[in-house]
Amino acid sequence: MSKLRYLIPLVLGYILAVRFGVPDGTLAGICQELIAGSTQGRQALVGSCWHAPLPTLIYLPFAWLCSPTTAAQLAAIVLWWFYVATISGLLTGLVGWSVCGMKVGGRIVNSPTHLVKAASCAALLLLCGIYFLIPIALTLVLLPLVALFHEETRRRFFAWVLLGWLPTLYAVGVWMLMNMLVLGDALFCFRSVRTETLTQLRQDLARPQSRETEEAGVVPPVQIPPAEILSNVAACVQAETPYGRVFVEGYAGLRLLEGNQNPMFTANLDLHITDLKYAYKGQRLFLLLPRPEYLTWTESVYWRYPKIYKLGLERLIFLKDFGLWRLFEVVQAPTREQLDAWGDR
């Protein structure tokens, strides 16, 4: 029976991996940046509650040691096994803690082991992303609530609250600390959980996209392979200037840049145009933005500049669309060297 307890999650994890593959398609792109030691990799590791750090850390050894295809296959199995095992541990811990006040042989059975198990699994699920928010919230409510139903556990109610909530509070605290150290904002990873973002996300998930575009008479954007998008963007930028730098925005950008070797393209997770102009002085800068739909609404560029895709900004000029991606150029004042060069003509 004890062997089945470990075998069943492994079998379910393998089945889910074969059926769905890697749960988060951006993990390979994040790991690529982490292995390269870039600032963008560290920002991507902790910068979103939709792309949480724990799945990335599980994927990272496979991305480092194996080929991309093998890494994706092995990591998918391990990730799904981890999800199934953690959810199973959460449920068994909750059930065990819920019946801890039952009388057995005239004594009340008290098993804080179940409480610790459920609390630890809830903290692990929190580090896997906001998708598990409902079971985490139910766990944090039920753990102290169950203690009120029995006289023996009621006497130490605040101890059970502390024990039940401490792992999750610790996980949140560490995550916020990493956001402060890497991004300068302790709440950066949670800022995408806003009413406007969730409303747009719900609308995109609910509506039949093909029928809507057909009724509106709008031809939906053509899906273009990532390599072709990057090649077309590079050709467009090189036609403008040989000194161009393209910043590909968000986690969707990390997915697009997976396997890219062109130094023209740079991932960007935290858009500050003024900082980019100072950091890349003398180069013409471009922004490549993904179309805001589904999870792309949660990108930091859209909760910071909600209308940037449609209207741009005061320092952006629209250049061209590439399928679901839109290219803008950053308007910059000419440098002294450029002014001198123009004056000599």
Question: pLDDT tens across 88-132, in order?
Answer: 989 888 887 777 655 444 454 556 788 888 889 999 999 998 889
Q: Are 277 and 247 in contact (CB under 8 A)?
A: no
Q: Confidence band (pLDDT; 50, 70, 90) for 162? A: confident
8 A C-beta contact, residue 72 and residue 24: no
Query: pLDDT-based confidence at 198, cuts 50/70/90?
Result: low
Q: What is the predicted pLDDT for the residue at 161?
A: 83
Mean pLDDT of 124-142: 89
Distance CA(304)–CA(306), nearest Å, equals 6
DSSP 11-80: HHHHHHHHHH--S-TTHHHHHHHHHHT-HHHHHHHHS-SSS-HHHHHHHHHHHHHS-HHHHHHHHHHHHH
Comparing CA positions, the residue from 243, 331, 323 lying closest to residue 287 is: 331
Q: What's the confidence (pLDDT) of residue 123?
A: 93
What is d(CA 141, CA 59) in angstroms, rounded to the nearest whole number?
31
Q: Please, which residues have CB within 8 angstroms of residue 238's CB and are 6 or more apart in sequence? A: 244
Q: Residues of the chain with pLDDT > 90: what percent?
A: 39
> In this predicted structure, what is the pLDDT of residue 345?
56
Grade residue 206 by pLDDT with cuts at 50, 70 and 90: low
Q: What is the DSSP-derived secondary structure letter of residue 246? A: E
Q: Which residues contact 88 (CB under 8 A, 6 or more apart)?
A: 9
Of 4 and 97, which is predicted with more confidence?
Answer: 97
Q: Which long-range contacts (CB under 8 A, 24 or more apart) does 201-208 make?
A: 201/294, 201/295, 201/297, 201/298, 204/293, 204/294, 204/297, 205/294
Using 50, 70 and 90 to split pLDDT, how confident is the model at 217? very low
Looking at residue 3, its pLDDT comes to 64
- Stronger pLDDT, 345 or 294, i.e. the higher one: 294
pLDDT tens digit sequence for 299-335? 889 888 888 998 888 888 999 999 899 999 998 766 6
pLDDT category at 220 given cuts 50, 70, 90 is low
**How are beta strands 316-322 and 325-330 bridged, if at all?**
antiparallel
pLDDT higher at 14 or 111: 14
The pLDDT value given to residue 276: 87
At 18 the pLDDT is: 85
Q: Categorize the per-residue pLDDT at 213 as very low, low, confident or very high, splitting at 50, 70 and 90.
A: very low
Averaged pLDDT, 286-306: 89
